[in-house]
A = this chain, B = another copy of it.
Amino acid sequence: MSNIVNIATSLDGYISDKDDGLDWLDLIPNPDRLDFGWADFMNRIDAMVMGRKTFEKVCSFDCDWPYTKPVFVLSRSLELLPEEYKGKAEIIEGPLSEVLQTIKAKGYEHLYIDGGVTVQSFLKEDLIDEMIITVIPVLLGGGTPLFAELPEQIEFECMESQVFLNSLVQTQYRRKK
């Protein structure tokens, strides 16, 4: 089983800006609409785990539901998802170790872990196996940080690093065991 983060951050480590906005993700012109490995990544994973806040943000986007894999929404406050998300997303709750057992029992092995709070919760329990981090060359100067305090240092190995559009540095890290 592997839990994988795939996320874009600013140079100063934020995943959304001071106004909770994401406009800075489009700072670099992408005329050929490169996907920066996104389709390959989505093929690799079996399911997604995201927090309630990220789920609601995705729902607010002015586009169709963007995921083809099952989505598990970690939430203690939501009881039901709107009917339109039936078959796409479901709520899951409990300690992360139990959540992962439940998901694995459904046959999903490779999980895409998304959203700041969720990634931080997984890291606090050293449950992240891989991180693909794409750095946008801007200092936002504030916003929602990707990382938070941790009880212990966590070492990773750098597997690959590439530059897209002469601008975005995408690096793949794997937990060093």
| Count of identical protomers in the assembly | 2
Bound together, the chains give a CA A137 to CA B142 distance in angstroms of 23
The smallest beta-carbon distance between A132 and chain B, in angstroms, is 12
Task: Say yes or no for A11: interface residue by CB 8 A criterion.
Answer: yes
Bound together, the chains give a CA A136 to CA B122 distance in angstroms of 21
Inter-chain contact A137/B158, CB cutoff 8 Å: yes
The smallest beta-carbon distance between A16 and chain B, in angstroms, is 13
Q: What chain B residues lie within 8 Å of A147 (beta carbons)?
A: 11-13, 139, 141
Q: What chain B residues lie within 8 Å of A135 (beta carbons)?
A: 171
Task: Say yes or no for A68: interface residue by CB 8 A criterion.
Answer: no
Inter-chain contact A138/B161, CB cutoff 8 Å: no
Task: Say yes or no for A150: interface residue by CB 8 A criterion.
Answer: yes
**Chain A 125-164 interface mask (CB, 8 Å, partner B; 1/0):** 0000001010101111110001101111111111001010
> For residues 1 through 29 of chain A, which have their beta carbon under 8 Å from a beta carbon of chain B?
11-13, 17, 24, 27
Task: Say yes or no for A60: interface residue by CB 8 A criterion.
Answer: no
Inter-chain contact B167/A169, CB cutoff 8 Å: no
Task: Say yes or no for A123: interface residue by CB 8 A criterion.
Answer: yes
Inter-chain contact B141/A173, CB cutoff 8 Å: no
Q: What chain B residues lie within 8 Å of A141 (beta carbons)?
A: 147, 149-154
